[in-house]
Structure 1
Amino acid sequence: MIYIDEVNAQEVLDSRGNPTVKTTILLSDGTAASAIVPSGASTGKREALELRDKDERFLGKGVLKACENVNTTLCDSITGLSPFDQSAIDNLLIELDGTENFSNLGANATLGVSMAVARAAAKSLNLPLYRYLGGANALTLPVPMLNIINGGSHADNTVDFQEYMIMPVGFECFSDALRASAEIYQHLKKLLKDSKHITSIGDEGGFAPNLKTNEEPIQIILEAVKKAGYKEGEQIAIALDVASSEFVNDEGIYCLKGEGKNLSNEEMIEYYEKLIAKYPIVSIEDGLSEDDWEGWSKLTQKLGDKVQLVGDDLFVTNAKILEEGIVKNIANAVLIKPNQIGTISQTMQTIRLAQRNHYRCIMSHRSGESEDSFIADFAVALNTGEIKTGSTARSERMAKYNRLLAIENELTFPVYLGKKLFNK
């Protein structure tokens, strides 16, 4: 029997230069596999706890305690177990922590182990990760949502909304969709440069210009779409991550500082209605704050049959919270971030709950990322159909896109035991 022989975690750096956990699993057959845990800047209140040292190192952001938890408690408990029973190992991690949000061991400790176990098991069986996790039905390449203008907590500029994304919805294959997106990104850079805007980029590779309104980024993006020779609405759509929990005050008023507006939830809904009527917007994420469930109900009733309404801070990849949203008819899509919940099995549970209830799923990166491309395989494994992983810039974002290109090639020209099988 193949079993887990060694477990080791070390502190490494993410794309923002902050510490994070890298976990390596060694199996008894000699297979070794690692995983690096991402970290978010805009986080929901009910996310699983990311354990930080809070000492003098790295301005308190060190993760030596989380690594120690992996190298002691978790290592002692899972050594000798089969790596092929993902749910049993993940349930053990939950039991060992003993809290609802991994506040004892840290979700960055448990997720690193969970991801590395899955990767080691797949590697031991000589299977791609997406095939191991998804089986024969892992066939769908996701439509990318590319964050090409950053605002909010992802950039130091005057734009309130956190992400302005393009969705290449009118293409037959992933590679064509990605090519179109990359071309639009380059045309956007030229347009910004010609208009004397700064073309520095934010955490997720999007540009971060100072613009007069929250509408202006959409206008510039659509101009870039036109310059690149693509059709807005038909080939390229717009998606927004408003991240409204970042600018709502204690009285429930949404403060758009960039525009000097203070809006109620009903006025925010009207604001979105006008944008949707004017532009080819197909998705709005976190349009209202995570605590404004009454507002979300109104938003869903008003716009739920017109656009995708995505809950990120609202649901935090938590099946219990999502189930409450389903019962109350809140939103119609859920953002999937494994580090919000703490294990791969819990993440899969949330995805399957959403899919059974006809909620769309969007696999997502975090603003603090690494070269780890786990979520690319995960999106294909669970047929989420959509993925958010930044713009066509910064190597930690491109690692995911390049992995999806490789998966597309494998699905087109399957490789089995090193021999390529061509369908003639």
Structure 2
Amino acid sequence: MDLHRRRIAAAEFLDRKGISGTLERIVNELFFRQPADVYGYMADCLLKLSTPPKISDLRGRAVFLGNGQLIVEAEVFCIDCNKEKRMSSAAVLSTFAPVGAEESQRSSDYVEIALQWIHEPFRRLLLDQNPCDQSEIDQMLGDFFTSYREEEKARRDKLKAEAKEHEAVTLVPVTPAKEKKSKGKKTIVDEKLFPPPELPEPVLLEGMAVGSVSLAVAKCGAEIKGMPLYKYISALKNQKEPAHFHVPVPWITLLSCGKKSPGKLCLLEEIILISKVGHPVKQSVTLAFELQKEMIKLMSTSGKGGITLSSVSDHGVLRASCDRLEQPLDLITDACRNLKVPLGVDVFLALNCAAPKLMDYSKGKYEVATGGLKSPDELIEVYLNLTSKYPAVVAIIDPFRREEAEQWEKLSSRIGISCSLLSDITHKPQDPVLPGVNGYVFRHANETTVSDIIHATVSYQGAVVMDTMFSESCSSGSFADLAVGLGLDYVKLGGLSGVETMAKYNRLTAIEEELAQQGLLVCKEPEPPLFSKEPKEELASAEETK
């Protein structure tokens, strides 16, 4: 009798779940198709009918970068076919680098906070969420971080107010000393100090947990959909998978003559090689290697123009000792001539000036070289002379501070369409668009979610160069996928050394070859300049249309 009841219950269960009908349909299709792997075909059919995976757990762990910096790696687990599986992991870099024991201790503290976020509130927020709902998950992560940032701001403001009150109570009045009149000398008038920039909001380094979890969720979604990450990112951005893809042109850093390099020259933090659009990534990287070898040969054999090689960074960037702006550019010109590489035809140059770091606020001038100060207007003439003498220079990154809006506009109008001006907006993505700016440099770091990156590239209408950090994240392969999936024309990858750095170049090359084999690769041919001179839509206006 018990057996009879169990049979009835089993039949009711099969009918209620529609299993009998489903199995009958699969068997009929099986007979019609007659695949070589019968059970594999049936497994695929049943797998498509299974419950979509849901997030079951988030885990975080501290991992080391090549430079010894600690960051957080997030892991996503899902229930898939009644089993918990580790689906993906990702680590996004914070925007600082330890410089000593005290800073290392601080980085350890931030990592601990980030791990607490992943193991407690983030795990609770994302439990049972569909990992393919990227925008919804990013919204939850963003809301949490916004709330935390507001609490931190309130705490900081309270501490500042208490400090001011304490200072007011303990302040002892001091009788000013009488001024002595100097005979026969003019009275020295206090100079009007150059206005410093507005202090940015403090970077909350624990926000690396937000970026890491967001990227790990995106990789999990791509795994579930059975597609490469770059196709998944493209589908998220365009609401569908495009019929064709193009691979962004890599910007490869050849030489550094910035403030931290030996020698007097401070202005050229990076000199970047840009291959002509249409050159395969592998060909561009090979050419960059050959150019670096020739540059090292020139510096070691003849000490070309007084320039000497100081060192090679862990990321393959040559650090040179230069005293004049022309020296590194002449070196690259000679190396191209020796290799019969037409500079300004097949390859071009971009200059990352990082001018905001060079401002001497007491004098209101930029320290172009040690002891060599230039006012913002004088710096315009420096850039005009450089681009006139070296027409292969087609882009200048951060030629001024953001506060010099007038100089940005003047330089852009005088330099014409031959050279694009780019502004680094990593920490200020919502600031007003500067006049004269044609493109933007943006890094994936800290609390930046995948949805944030997509929104930034859409808002700035394709005028974004995605930049890597000098200390690379563990998810270095994902960086290339993001650049391709976002449809960027250019991607700044750094030097040519280090496992983490080269993983980006290798992944970009692999994507290009994969797309070519699939017949999905197209060559996008942007006309010069690199970016349109038309003003870009502000991010604020894009927010209104969301």
TM-score (norm 1): 0.86
Is 1:32 matched up with 2:87?
yes
* CA positional deviation for 1:200: 2.1
* 8 Å contact from structure 1 (residues 319, 353) kept in 2: no
Question: Which residue does the alignment assign to 1:179?
Answer: 286
Question: How many residues matched?
Answer: 396
Question: How far 1:228 moved relative to its partner?
Answer: 2.6
1:317 shift after superposition:
6.4
Q: Identity of aligned pairs, percent?
A: 25
Q: How far 1:84 sits from its partner (Å)?
A: 0.6
Q: Which residue of 2 aligns with 1:45?
A: none
Change (3 A) 1:301 1:164: same
Seen in structure 2, the aligned counterparts of structure 1 residues 102 and 385 have a Cα distance that, compared at 3 Å, is: same
Distance in 1 (CA, whole Å) between partners of 2:501 and 2:125 is 34
Give unmatched runs, 5+ long, in structure 2: 1-51, 151-200, 236-240, 521-546
Superposed, 1:20-419 pairs within 5 Å as: 20-29=71-80, 30-40=85-95, 58-62=104-108, 63-97=111-145, 98=147, 99=149, 106-135=206-235, 136-137=241-242, 139-152=245-258, 155=261, 158-160=264-266, 161-169=268-276, 171-195=278-302, 197-198=308-309, 200-202=311-313, 204-250=315-361, 252-258=364-370, 260-279=371-390, 280-303=392-415, 305-312=417-424, 315-316=425-426, 318-321=428-431, 324-325=432-433, 329-339=435-445, 342-355=448-461, 360-371=463-474, 372-414=476-518
Aligned to 1:28, the other structure's residue is in SS state: strand
**CA distance in structure 1 between the partners assigned to 2:369 and 2:344 by the alignment:** 29
User: Could you tell me which amino acid in structure 1 is paired with residue 407 of structure 2?
Assistant: G
Q: Is contact 2:93-2:446 (8 Å) kept?
A: no
Cα offset for 1:119?
Answer: 0.9
Give the Cα–Cα distance (whole angstroms) in 2 for the partners of residues 156 and 368 of structure 1.
21
Q: 1:337 to 1:400 in 2, by over 3 A?
A: same
1:105/1:186 Cα in 2 relative to 1: closer, same or farther (>3 Å)? Answer: closer
Task: Give the whole-Å Cα distance in 2 for the aligned partners of 1:386 and 1:79.
Answer: 37
RMSD of aligned C-alpha atoms? 2.6
SS of equivalent to 2:255:
strand
CA deviation string 1:41-73 (max 9, x = no partner): 69xxxxxxxxx9x99582432222222222222
Q: Secondary structure at the match of 2:74?
A: strand
> 1:401 deviation in Å?
0.5
Unpaired runs of 5+ residues, structure 1, are: 43-51, 417-424
Q: Tell me whether 156-165 or 72-81 shows the greater mean CA deviation.
A: 156-165
Are the equivalent residues in 1 in contact too, given 2:55–2:130 (CA < 8 A)?
yes
Alignment deviations for residues 254-289 of structure 1 (CA, whole Å, 9 cap, x no partner): 11234x321111111111111101111001001111
Question: Secondary structure of 1:320's match?
Answer: coil
Q: Is the 8 A contact 2:405 2:435 kept in 1?
A: no
How far, CA to CA, are the matches of 2:284 and 2:205 in structure 1?
A: 40
Instruction: Report how far residue 214 of structure 1 moved.
Output: 2.7
What displacement does 1:339 show?
1.3
Q: 1:151 and 1:67 mapped to 2: Cα distance?
A: 38
- Displacement of 1:226 in angstroms is 2.1
Distance 1:103 1:274, change over 3 A: closer
Residues 207-251 of structure 1: CA deviation (Å, up to 9, x unaligned): 112112233111112222222331100011111110011101225
Deviation readout 1:130-152 (Å, 9 max, x if unpaired): 00010333611111111111233
